[in-house]
Amino acid sequence: MKTVDTELFKTIGSVLDPIEKKIVIVPHHNPDGDAIGSAIGLGNLLINRGHKVVIIFPNDYPAYYNWIESKAKTVIYNSQKKIAKRELEAGDILICVDFNDISRVGNMEKSLQNFEGQKILIDHHPEPKVFCDFLISDTTYSSTSEMVFDFISILDFEKFVDKSVAESLYVGIMTDTGSFSHNISEPNTFKVISNLLKFDINADEIHAKVYHNYSASRMRLLGYCLNQKMEILEEYQTAVISITQDELKNFNFAPGDTEGLVNYPLSISGIVFSVLFIEKEGHVKLSFRSKGLFPANQLAANHFNGGGHLNAAGGEDFDELENSLLKFKQLLPDYLHQLTKASNELKKLV
C-alpha cells in the first residue's frame, strides 16, 4: 500500500459510520471505465456495509459497460433531472469520484454546489479545486479505482468486498492504464490487482467484455478516422484527428464510440503527441495524449480550458471546428522544443 494520509482516510471513515445513511455517488460527465468502475465498486461496497446508495451519472455511459453489476439505484441526470435532484436533496453524504473540478459534471454543477450534506472527493488528477469538505487526492495512483481499494483497506472494509466490488474496481484500473500499458510505474497497482483477483473475478472475461464488445458502427468509424481524418504533422511529431457532428451521425454514433480513438496515432513511429477534435453543439471537445515527458495537460490547460495528467488530458474550445484546428496548429511552434526533446528521449529507449 502507498504512504497515504491514513488519518484523513479514518476521519472520512468515521463520517461513514455504521449508522445507515443515504449516500449519493457522482462521477464525471462522459464517464470512462475508471469513473464507472470506481463509482459502482464503491457503491456496492457501501451497500454491503448497510448504507443506501444512489449513483447519479451526469450522462449515459457506453453500452459495453452495461454488464457491470450495480446494486445501487442508478440515475442518468441528463434524462432524469427531477429524479436526480430529488435524490440529491435527500442525500446525507455526496461522494465525487474521478474528477478534480466541479465543472467536470456538466449540467449537474449547480445541483452539487447546492448539496447540503457532507461532500467527499476521491480523485487522482493533478491540481484539484477544493469544492468538498474532504479531499482525497493523489496523482501517483494509476486510477481512482486503485485509490478506492486502498481506502477500503485502510478502513478495514475488506470484509464488505465481494465479486461485484472487485470486478468494478478491476475495470477501472484496467481501462485507465490501457490494459496495464501506462500509468503503472508504482508497484501498488499490481498489489491491488493481486488482491482483487482473490475475489474470484475472471480477468480474461472482463477484458473481453470491455474490449471485444464493440458495435460494427464503432469499428467503421475508427477505420474512417484513421484512413480519412488523421493528419500527420511530422515537423512536430504530432498527429491530429478531427470529426464533425455530421460524420458521427453517418456512423450511428453512440456514447463511447470515440473512446480510445486518440491513442491510435501514438502507435506510429516518431509520433509523441496525438489530439482528437470532436465537434459538439456550440463547442469543440478535445482529447490529448502524449508519450514520454511531453506535458499534454499543460497545453490543454494553457489554451483549451482543460487539464488532466501529463500524458492524458482533455479540454474544450468554444469556437468552430476549423478555427480550433487552426488555433492548435499555430500553437505547435511554441512547443517544438518540448516535442523534440520528448521524441529524442524516447529514441534512447529503443
Residue 317 and residue 255 in one domain: yes
Residue 14 and residue 99 in one domain: yes
pLDDT one-digit tens code per residue, 200-245: 999 999 999 999 999 999 999 999 999 999 999 999 999 999 999 9
Which set of grid coordinates corresponds to residue 169?
Answer: 474496481
Residue with cell 449537474: 108
Residue 130 and residue 243 in one domain: no
Residue 251 and residue 337 in one domain: yes
Residues in the chain: 350
Q: Which amino acid is at 163?
A: K
Residue 19 and residue 143 in one domain: yes
Residue 37 and residue 158 in one domain: yes
Q: What is the pTM of this model?
A: 0.92
CA dihedral 21, 90, 135, 68 (to 10 degrees): 80
Q: Is residue 170 part of a domain?
A: yes
Degrees (nearest 5) of the Cα angle 131, 134, 140? 95
Residue that finishes a domain, picked among 158, 189, 211: 211
Which set of grid coordinates corresponds to residue 304?
Answer: 483549451
Q: Is residue 1 part of a domain?
A: no
Residue that finishes a domain, picked among 176, 211, 246: 211
Q: Which amino acid is at 219?
A: M
* Domain count within the chain: 2
Give the separation between CA 202 and CA 210, rounded to whole angstroms.
13
Residue 271 and residue 243 in one domain: yes
Residue 96 and residue 10 in one domain: yes
Q: Is residue 64 part of a domain?
A: yes
Q: Is residue 121 part of a domain?
A: yes
- For strands 284-290 and 273-279, give the pairing: antiparallel
Give the separation between CA 176 and CA 182, rounded to whole angstroms.
8
Q: Is residue 250 part of a domain?
A: yes
pLDDT one-digit tens code per residue, 283-305: 999 999 999 999 999 999 999 99
Residue 239 and residue 152 in one domain: no
Residue 92 and residue 207 in one domain: yes
Q: Is residue 245 part of a domain?
A: yes
The CATH number covering residue 97 comes to: 3.90.1640.10
Q: Is residue 293 part of a domain?
A: yes
Residue 206 and residue 232 in one domain: no
Report the interhelical angle of 144-154 vs 188-197 (nearest 10°): 70
Residue that finishes a domain, picked among 211, 227, 242: 211
Q: Is residue 299 part of a domain?
A: yes
Cβ atoms 110, 134 nearer than 8 A: no
Residue 250 and residue 184 in one domain: no
The CATH number covering residue 283 comes to: 3.10.310.30
The domain of 339 spans 216-349
Give the separation between CA 112 and CA 105, rounded to whole angstroms.
9
Q: What is the pLDDT along the chain (350 residues), one digit of tens a residue?
A: 555 677 888 888 888 887 889 999 999 999 999 999 999 999 999 999 999 999 999 999 999 999 999 999 999 999 999 999 999 999 999 999 999 999 999 999 999 999 999 999 999 999 899 899 999 999 999 999 999 999 999 999 999 999 999 999 999 999 999 999 888 888 999 999 999 999 999 999 999 999 999 999 999 999 999 999 999 999 999 999 999 999 999 999 999 999 999 999 999 999 999 999 999 999 999 999 999 999 999 999 999 999 999 999 999 999 999 999 999 999 999 999 999 999 999 888 77
